[in-house]
Structure 1
Amino acid sequence: MQNMSESPLTSRRGFLRKAVALVPAGALAGCNNGTPGATSSAQPGASAAAQPASAPRAEYKPRFFDAREWTFVQAAVDRLIPADAEGPGALEAGVPEFIDRQMDTPWAHGALWYMQGPFVQGVPELGYQLKLVPRDLYRLGIASVNAHCVKAHGHAFDALDAATRDSALADLEKGAIELADVPASVFFGQLLQNTREGYFCDPIHGGNRGMAAWTMIGFPGARADFMDFVNQNGQAYPYGPVSINGERT
């Protein structure tokens, strides 16, 4: 990821195109959750309560996050992928809803992971080694980041101005902040990965509303066949994306 201190992003479309390569392929047309898990047998979690993207949208009420956590998630993803002239931001794309809904999946509970000890953080090549499942990472991580921001800046994360939020996220990314309950870079990595997934997922999972992210990068979506365009490098796909439930732009 581009260092968060370089804000706003100088080439948002280019950044997001590169970000697609870091999102598991299943997360584009389906949903493939990306928490690292070297000691686990982590598998994609089934998305909770998938809804047709065309259904009327009432204001989403989070089921996992409490009010303070919810404001943090919204404030954080808004800075990770902000809106601009090239496309919607994470808020407009429904990323917070995606993340909240993922907290009800077996993946978020660690149900498909090997979760027996010992839990010893080894070299990075061994991958994720903590005893915290994604739900724990979010609950403990958000509380710890808010506590740090109150101590350092006098306000919780969501109450900070955009530049200070960017600086805090950059420190999390570098591991420059000492959090009480979770390594800062691990929490940031989980948040960034889920933000990418929510931005580029199929709309039935809550994110990528109106398939705007797919349209922006020229991704065809869940079309059954687009082989005629596979080797036409650089040529724009002319038909627009299709979601799993058949919605078209």
Structure 2
Amino acid sequence: MADNQQGLSRRDFLKTTGIATGALVGGGLIGGLVGYNVKKDGKTANEGQLATEGVEGAPKGLMFLTNQNEFHVLSQATERIFPEDDLGPGAIALGVPYFIDNQLAGNYGSNAREYMQGPFFAGEATQGYQSALTRAEIFRQGIAKLDEEANARYEKGFAELDAEQMDTILTAFQKNEVEMKGVSSEFFFRLLRQATLEGAYADPIYNGNANMEGWRMKGFPGHQMAYVNVIEEEKFQVIEPKSISSMQH
């Protein structure tokens, strides 16, 4: 990792890439979302961080990845994409792995609401979904390939690697250097990155964004009934965020 990258914070990265203003994450950001933000001690999130007991909106269990090793691989991969830093929690503490697992068990994973008929040709990155496989099938294969690539390169499972080794493998996926069946590794990486960001900022009712910490890091108020009490204030208002669940009471 380059020395000049170690001092960057997530907030600096979000500002320079336009994510803070709602811009989409483009290609070639492996040095930003993945890799630049290795923790100072070089360690990755441990299995103990997978627990979300006592966290608002915390999930009760897995729905799709019933194999614990698959879940650990997914967890560590999302943590490398959205790592914990001095500004707040990373993907694991936010419950992102559970968010992705739960989504894969539903319409998102089965592509139930999308046209999935042929012909199927390899498309450009701008053309959207081009695979005959469902997202659930792509994630299942992609997670297995992460582990397979880790064993081939380092003789360890992906979840056992250090941060830089994980980033090396994720970079290979982003650069389409890993062979997958029915889909490109670059497309799997894009799905994984997009799902990670969605899990970090989704409403907690979907089992991500635990305690709305993702929103708090951005100063996003969530779902407020009204702003009439502060609409005329000149100063920026720090408002305690609310989930959709709070509007159901």
TM-score, normalized by length of structure 1?
0.75
TM-aligned CA distance change 1:200 to 1:240, over 3 Å: same
TM-aligned CA distance change 1:79 to 1:128, over 3 Å: same
Match of 2:51? none
Match of 2:143? 142
SS of the residue corresponding to residue 246 of structure 2 reads coil
Deviations 1:7-26 (A, max 9, x none): 657120233464452579xx
Partner letter of residue 151 of structure 2?
Answer: V
Deviations 1:15-72 (A, max 9, x none): 3464452579xxxxxxxxxxxxxxxxxxxxxxxxxxxx746x58x4312112221011
Match of 1:85? 86
TM-aligned CA distance change 1:23 to 1:9, over 3 Å: farther
Match of 1:12? 10
Alignment of 1:64 onto 2:64: yes
Match of 1:152? 153
- Contact map agreement 2:78 2:97 (CA 8 A) in 1: yes
Deviations 1:149-208 (A, max 9, x none): 211111121111111001111221222333355311111111110100110011111111
Match of 2:180? 179
Q: Which runs of 5+ in 2 are unaligned?
A: 26-54
In structure 1, C-alpha distance between the alignment counterparts of 2:185 and 2:220, rounded to whole Å: 33
SS of the residue corresponding to residue 246 of structure 1 reads helix
The 5 A counterparts of 1:2-151 are 10-16=8-14, 18-19=18-19, 21-22=22-23, 54=56, 60-65=60-65, 66-151=67-152
In structure 2, C-alpha distance between the alignment counterparts of 1:133 and 1:214, rounded to whole Å: 30
Q: When the two structures are aligned, how many residues end up with a matched partner?
A: 214
Deviation at 1:231? Answer: 11
Alignment of 1:238 onto 2:243: no
Partner letter of residue 211 of structure 1?
Answer: M
The 5 A counterparts of 1:196-235 are 196-226=197-227
Partner letter of residue 172 of structure 2?
Answer: D
- Contact map agreement 1:82 1:89 (CA 8 A) in 2: yes
TM-score, normalized by length of structure 2?
0.75
Deviation at 1:87? Answer: 0.5
TM-aligned CA distance change 1:79 to 1:218, over 3 Å: same
- Contact map agreement 1:97 1:207 (CA 8 A) in 2: yes
In structure 2, C-alpha distance between the alignment counterparts of 1:19 and 1:242, rounded to whole Å: 22
Partner letter of residue 241 of structure 2?
Answer: P
Partner letter of residue 135 of structure 2?
Answer: P
In structure 2, C-alpha distance between the alignment counterparts of 1:83 and 1:197, rounded to whole Å: 16
Q: Which runs of 5+ in 1 are unaligned?
A: 25-52
In structure 2, C-alpha distance between the alignment counterparts of 1:167 and 1:5, rounded to whole Å: 17
Partner letter of residue 129 of structure 1?
Answer: Q
- Contact map agreement 1:148 1:179 (CA 8 A) in 2: no
Partner letter of residue 162 of structure 2?
Answer: D
Q: How large is the RMSD of aligned CA atoms in angstroms?
A: 3.1
- Contact map agreement 2:73 2:146 (CA 8 A) in 1: no
Identical aligned pairs, as a percentage?
A: 32
- Contact map agreement 1:140 1:181 (CA 8 A) in 2: no
